[in-house]
Amino acid sequence: MVVNKDAVISVDLLIKGDKEEFNKLIDAYSEKLYRLAISITGNNLDAEDVLQETFIKVIRSIGSFQGKSSIYTWIYRIAVNEAIQVLRKGRNLVSSLDDEDTEDISQPKEIRSWDLLPEDKIISKELKEKLDKAILQLSEKLKLVFVLRDLQDLSIQETAELLDVSEEVVKTRLLRARLALRESLTYYFEESRKEGKK
Amino acid sequence: MNKTCCDQLVECLSEYIDGDLPPELVAQLEEHMSNCTDCRIVVDTTKKTISLYQQMTEDQHIPNSVVERLHKTLDISNFMKD
């Protein structure tokens, strides 16, 4: 896990309710936690809610922080759990996409090169929408593994510990998530090619 | 196309991309890929998939207004009273 090396946060001051130290904590970790939250929840408003709830929990439970991990890791874990709760609330209103067994994405189906992928590394609005849509279509289980491992740069072991599953399960889900997203994007690039779009 | 080798590549795809395979197996898979266009495409497009999502995530920045709201809403002294 990449930790914010610039931030030195005093747990003692937080426990004492030091306002300045708490503001320092917000400034140090908000950006990283926001990226995590938006990757999991898929929208800005939910991400903001996740941050708010996370920091409230931090204030309320800082006294129970035992220092077994870094403060960042501890807060990160709270944020992941908050984001999962928000994701589940949203998903319940739409549909349950949590059944891994219904997904047949253990093998690549569409095999075409991506000739249309822009070389300039700028993600167009249209492509961003497609990326968002594809990740939203993943089951919660696959999405969480992909976000934590590939977007948040956690190790397989850290991802497994955070989600309370075995490393083998993480590996299986990661492969399925990557293949599913690859499949969606392949369709998108192929359709774009047919339409002669850039 | 050697079906068994293709299956093996898909099985090891994540570990191959992440650089977590022993060198002997990497050499074996790369030997296979040198003759298998489909597997080369699958590896290439999977790497690009991850890269696009990583880039999109890096491009996400927390708006200043959100940070301001957090500071405004989260007054630690209010919560310490609980």
Q: Which pLDDT value is given to residue B5?
A: 81
- List CB contacts of A99: < 8 A, sequence separation 6 or more: A139
Over the stretch B35-60, which tens digit does the pLDDT of each residue have? 999 999 999 999 999 999 999 998 88
- Residue of chain B whose alpha carbon sits nearest to that of A113: B41
The rounded mean pLDDT for chain B is 88
Provide, for chain A, the percentages of residues in helix, strand and coil under a 3-state DSSP scheme, each rounded to the nearest 5. 70, 0, 30
Over the stretch A63-114, which tens digit does the pLDDT of each residue have? 888 888 888 889 999 999 999 999 888 764 444 444 454 455 678 888 888 8
**Residues of B in Cβ contact (< 8 Å) with A193:** none
Q: Which pLDDT value is given to residue A91?
A: 60
Over the stretch A128-176, which tens digit does the pLDDT of each residue have? 999 999 998 999 999 999 999 999 999 999 999 999 999 999 999 999 9
- The ipTM assigned to this model is 0.88
In contact, B57 and A151? CB cutoff 8 Å: yes
Q: Which pLDDT value is given to residue A96?
A: 43
Tell me if A107 and B10 make a contact (CB, 8 A cut-off).
yes
**Residues of A in Cβ contact (< 8 Å) with B73:** 52
How far apart are the CA of A94 and the nearest CA of chain B, in angstroms?
24
Greater model confidence, A179 or B59: A179
Band of pLDDT at residue A15, cut at 50, 70 and 90: confident
Residues from B in contact with A at Cβ < 8 Å: 10, 13-15, 17, 38, 41-42, 44-46, 48-50, 52-57, 59-63, 66-67, 69-71, 73-77, 79-80, 82
Alpha-carbon span B5 to B28, nearest angstrom: 9
Provide, for chain B, the percentages of residues in helix, strand and coil under a 3-state DSSP scheme, each rounded to the nearest 5. 75, 0, 25
Q: pTM of the predicted model, to two decimals?
A: 0.85
**Residues of B in Cβ contact (< 8 Å) with A108:** 10, 42
How far apart are the CA of B71 and the nearest CA of chain A, in angstroms?
7
Over the stretch A30-63, which tens digit does the pLDDT of each residue have? 999 999 999 999 889 999 999 999 999 998 898 8
